Chain A
Amino acid sequence: MESFFTHLGVWLGALFTFAIFSFLYKDNPFYKIAEQLFVGLSAGYWFVYTIYFILIPNLFDPLSQDLAHNWIKLIPAILGIMMLMRLIPSQEWISRFPIALIIGTTSGVFFMRYLKSDVLNQLTATMINPFTGNHWGEIIGSILLILGTLSGVIYFYFSKKHEGSFGVVAKAGIYFLMVSFGAAFGYTAMARISLLIGRLQFLLGDWLGIIPN
């Protein structure tokens, strides 16, 4: 029986893969069915997962088993209920309080973390002696890192007109930015092809058995 369901799963996977790929030819009902089933299943899965793996173990179980030690969990529970008030138009205003609390807390937590990790540590990592590299490639890389960072930052300084030597450095900043966008595009192309490879490995391996799994 287990083998039957495994095969059924593989066949359904293959058919839905073709249904999704068929969109590349043109929009059609098979694609629409696959897309809507995917959205519906995902929403259902998330709903059940949230109840069984988040709400029950983190809220319902602790409250029902030991309320005295877990009463503090009532606060997020009440905030959650307040959030759901958005669904009742006349009581919608109540949801603003938990949203305000979330935004405030998130800003507070993230501000320090981002300041340290993405500003201070990144700046410190750029303040290096470029000539201490082990080989010439490393030295050139370090020099480019410093030049790229400085010219990139200068490009985004808009309080002074980009002309003269300032304009030249800003222009160099654009080139560094373009190279980084190119690299990002390259990585994106690689990622998309990797996903296609994954699907074809499934079709040719698990489904057709032409290549080893």
Chain B
Amino acid sequence: MAGTRKDKQLDRRWIFLLIFMGVAIPLIFTIGFPIETTENVRLVNEMIDKTTKGSKVIMSFDYDPASKPELHPMGMAIMNHCFEKGLRVIVVALWPMGVQMAEEIFSDLTEKYPQVIYGEDYINLGYKAGGIVTIQAMGSNFREVFPKDMNGNEIDDFPILRGVEDFSNIGFIFSLSAGDPGIKQWVQVAHDKYGVPLSGGVTGVSAPAILPYVNEQKQLNGLLAGLKAAAEYEFLIETPGTATSGMDAQSIAHLIIIVFIAIGNITYWTTRKKVKREGEK
């Protein structure tokens, strides 16, 4: 007689242990699997490449430490690329902790780009509550929504914000989004109402819901989805970072998951056949 369902089950803790080892070992002993870029990531890269030097761009940090492993490497790579191309970055945050996330990235990049000056090439305007309503208000009167920067200084004191009254002279907007409010609201207002070129980076979990916006209407100019996309972007700008170093671990973990799915299915089908055969007897 075929064993019970419980007999056929592997203690799930073995799977946890295998995944843990599968992730930890490649982090210590790097394998160096090749990274291939995808169309959506190339579109983001092209958008930044084509933006005229000196243009003002908005980076919206709409995430907190819970999504940091996935979105922080993207933020780092995008801001790095912006500074490299001579773009001037205006940071806003629809999530409270987004302010600190942006500051962390900026302080990491100041060593590489000592010529970047706060207030001239970069500014952090801090967090604003309100989500979609805030974005709508920014589109009609930017200065009313953000009268001061995150340190409480009047924005008129900073050259980077001279002439910024709404979205009309913004090169593009890039939202690093972990949920709501985030990239969806930017699409609905910044692109679909004001027509600003828009792109973004999202967590793997939210990617399937956001990917349809990358379409013929160019609601999004490409999309970075999950850690893999961050690694691809690091590859494109030739600046390997934490996403690249995590790719070996990601691949091995996926391989383990695939093997277990295959084993589970094979066991299920063989057990079903056996039970059917015994039932016929």
Contact = CB atoms under 8 A, between A and B. Distances in A.
Interface of A: 24-25, 49, 53-54, 58, 109-110, 113-114, 116-117, 121-122, 124-125, 128, 180, 183-184, 187-191, 193-201, 204, 210-211
A187 B208 CA distance: 8
A117 B226 contact: no
Contacts of A128: 216
B102 interface: no
A124 B217 contact: yes
A194 B212 contact: no
B132 A194 contact: no
B76 to A, nearest CB: 13
Contacts of B242: 201
A189 B22 CA distance: 14
Given A197-B227, A198-B68, A211-B245, 13 more contacts: A53-B126, A187-B207, A190-B250, A191-B205, A195-B69, A196-B23, A197-B246, A198-B69, A200-B27, A201-B27, A201-B245, A204-B24, A211-B28
A1 to B, nearest CB: 20
Most buried by A among B133, B188, B189: B188
B188 A24 contact: no
A125 B132 contact: no
Contacts of A201: 27, 69, 242, 245-246
A189 B225 CA distance: 13
What 4 pairs across the A-B complex have the smallest Cβ distances? A198-B69, A191-B204, A125-B215, A194-B227
12 contacts: A124-B216, A187-B204, A187-B205, A188-B205, A189-B257, A195-B70, A201-B27, A201-B242, A201-B246, A204-B24, A211-B27, A211-B28
Contacts of A198: 68-70, 246
Contacts of B176: none
Contact of B215 (A122, A180, A196): A122
Most buried by B among A117, A124, A201, A210: A117
Contacts, number: 113
A178 to B, nearest CB: 13
Contact of B13 (A25, A117, A187, A188): A25
Contact of B192 (A116, A187, A195): A116
B216 A125 contact: yes
B19 A196 contact: yes
Determine the interface band of chain B, counting residues with CB < 8 A from chain A.
35 or more
A58 B205 CA distance: 33
Most buried by B among A122, A193, A196: A193
A199 B257 CA distance: 19
A114 B237 CA distance: 35
A201 B192 CA distance: 39
A20 to B, nearest CB: 12
A95 B113 CA distance: 52
B44 interface: no
Contacts of B60: none
B177 interface: no
Nearest to A213: B242
Contacts of A58: 129
Contacts of A211: 27-28, 245
Nearest to B72: A198
A197 B207 contact: no
B227 A190 contact: yes
A25 B19 CA distance: 14
Contacts of B246: 194, 197-198, 201
Nearest to A187: B204
B219 interface: yes
A191 B226 contact: yes
A211 B187 CA distance: 39
Given A125-B216, A180-B208, A190-B226, A197 B28 contact: no
A197 B250 contact: yes
A204 B204 contact: no
A121 B184 CA distance: 13
Interface string B158-183: 00000000000000000000000000
A52 to B, nearest CB: 10
A133 B189 CA distance: 29
Most buried by B among A54, A109, A125, A194: A194
Interface string B17-51: 00110011001100000000000000000000000
Interface string B239-281: 0001001100110011001000000000000000000000000
A121 B217 contact: yes
